Chains A and B, each alone.
Chain A
């Protein structure tokens, strides 16, 4: 048992914390987790990404074949995607013109919102503190992976900070996958190609850009499935409350979500 005086590594120092802990009954603690900017940009991003994915599927349906390189090799596509049910599309039913209208409007919302989030995260230092993994985090990668594989997640003080897999995943999404979405999308724009020809060459041509756009979209869908799954698994109401109000409940020491396959070997610290 630890008397957690010092927050576990990776947690915001109290000084940088916008608000201090609020003790609750039965040894639980309300901790301040998400500032307003993060919460607002998160939900705007949810809306934008959902509209972009659904309208993007509709756009893909206009020519459901993907190629690598600078041009389409019609007789020999790399991948032909199956027909998608109408309810997954925006608008509901195939309509390239309207799908493009939605896609490009929400692309603007996605980009502006993403820039606000990134600027806030980087300039406030929160990104470095909460998401960028430390060397110590990285050394704990395998133990953390094993815990994940067992669907075993702490809900006590260890839940104050993101674990290393969470950190790596969020960093990859925010710094790689979502920007890749923007860059590959822009590279399909013949207007932008006139100034961004270099990007087009780096990607290997417009059809490669389109295929990478699709792959990145697939990664986002994969992320959403796992992210939402774990949000539910590790305490749906607590997680939702945190992303809506900013406050997150920490359970008394030793608490975990998921099957208690084994007691934590060392209850005081991360393995």
Chain B
């Protein structure tokens, strides 16, 4: 009886560690696959797609009546709730890191800067597409205002939301390179479909980086940081979903 129990236990342990090893191995293999595939795709697209090439735009009648809100749709962080309570009157967007002149801008400050509107498609990594109109200020405008230091290579977006809705959860973040940061369609949007940006879509401010998948379009932005490397941020892969196995270059 005892021996049988020991045998069962041993077999179960062996099976469990075998499966764990397989899981670990498959994870590491897919990590390798990602490194190779993503590297090829990023280089090929950067080579073939001109820096300024525009994402397709659509007409007003093509706007989705059912634009899906995905990921965080109602952040629960206390600092966010406090700002939301008074209509984001106390909101300040911080632009800092490797810049000459750090900025701290209210929503009013952002709205008084030159605004741009675009009707574009939003391609979720899951496969669906919604079309919406976004209005906001070009990211490049703010970066030039702050004055990027020459060593700045990436722009990191720090957000209010945690996907697990816990106060101490890992906050969402994203990063893009300067090619996308300076792209003419890359804006910080404060309006959607002609109305104040709603909470499910990232109020008060979200990123639109139109040549990449949805998860790059950080919502609920609180701080923009210019960095030389994002290795020290989060788990070091350049974004919340990147830290969980998704590609940093989300152009495909």
Tell me the chain B residues, 218-252 only, with Cβ under 8 Å from chain A: 241, 244-247, 250-252
- A105–B66 alpha-carbon span in the complex (Å): 33
Q: Is residue A102 contacting chain B, with contact meaning CB distance below 8 A?
A: yes
CB distance from A101 to the nearest CB of B (A): 4
Q: State which of A75, A188, A200, A210 has its C-beta within 8 Å of the C-beta of B56.
A: A200
Residues of chain A within 8 A (CB-CB) of B213 are 190
A96 and B212 within 8 A (CB):
no
Contact flags (1/0) for A96-115 with B, using CB distance below 8 Å? 11101110110110000000
A100 and B247 within 8 A (CB):
yes
Q: Is residue B141 contacting chain A, with contact meaning CB distance below 8 A?
A: no
B68 and A72 within 8 A (CB):
yes
Interface SS of chain A: helix, strand, loop or mixed?
Answer: helix
B33 and A105 within 8 A (CB):
yes
B40 and A91 within 8 A (CB):
no
Q: A75-B66, A101-B245, A190-B211 are in contact. Are A63 and B54 (CB under 8 A)?
A: no
A71 and B130 within 8 A (CB):
yes
Binds A, one of B81-89, B120-128, B144-152: B120-128
- A105–B39 alpha-carbon span in the complex (Å): 10
Known: A71-B62, A189-B251; 4 extra A-B contacts, CB below 8 A, are A73-B66, A97-B246, A100-B246, A205-B129
A102 and B33 within 8 A (CB):
yes
- A262–B62 alpha-carbon span in the complex (Å): 61
B123 and A190 within 8 A (CB):
yes
Task: List 29 A–B pairs whose Cβ atoms lie within 8 Å, in order of A's numbering.
Answer: A70-B121, A71-B130, A71-B131, A72-B129, A74-B66, A91-B30, A96-B246, A97-B245, A97-B246, A98-B27, A100-B246, A101-B31, A101-B33, A101-B38, A101-B247, A102-B33, A104-B247, A105-B37, A105-B40, A107-B37, A188-B123, A188-B127, A190-B121, A190-B123, A190-B251, A191-B49, A192-B251, A207-B128, A210-B127
Specify the chain A residue showing the minimal Cβ separation from B55.
Answer: A194
Q: Is residue B53 contacting chain A, with contact meaning CB distance below 8 A?
A: yes
Q: Is residue B104 contacting chain A, with contact meaning CB distance below 8 A?
A: no
Q: A91-B30, A195-B48 are in contact. Are A101 and B68 (CB under 8 A)?
A: no
Q: Is residue A193 contacting chain B, with contact meaning CB distance below 8 A?
A: yes
Q: State which of A189, A195, A210 has its C-beta within 8 Å of the C-beta of B252.
A: A189
Q: Is residue A197 contacting chain B, with contact meaning CB distance below 8 A?
A: yes
The number of A-B residue pairs with CB atoms under 8 Å apart is 125
- A74–B121 alpha-carbon span in the complex (Å): 15
Q: Which 9 A-B pairs rank lowest in CB-CB distance, beginning with the nearest?
A: A191-B251, A97-B245, A105-B37, A101-B34, A189-B252, A104-B37, A194-B53, A72-B128, A63-B126
- A74–B126 alpha-carbon span in the complex (Å): 13
Residues of chain A within 8 A (CB-CB) of B212 are 190-191
Q: Is residue A164 contacting chain B, with contact meaning CB distance below 8 A?
A: no
Q: Is residue B13 contacting chain A, with contact meaning CB distance below 8 A?
A: no
Residues of chain B within 8 A (CB-CB) of A71 are 62, 64, 121, 129-131
A191 and B245 within 8 A (CB):
no
With most chain B CB atoms within 10 A of its CB, the pick from A73, A107, A189, A210 is A189
Q: Is residue B45 contacting chain A, with contact meaning CB distance below 8 A?
A: yes
Q: State which of A62, A72, A95, A107 has its C-beta within 8 Å of the C-beta of B125.
A: A62
Q: A74-B68, A101-B245 are in contact. Are A191 and B45 (CB under 8 A)?
A: yes
Specify the chain B residue showing the minimal Cβ separation from A73.
Answer: B66
Residues of chain A within 8 A (CB-CB) of B49 are 191-192, 194-195
Q: Is residue B78 contacting chain A, with contact meaning CB distance below 8 A?
A: no
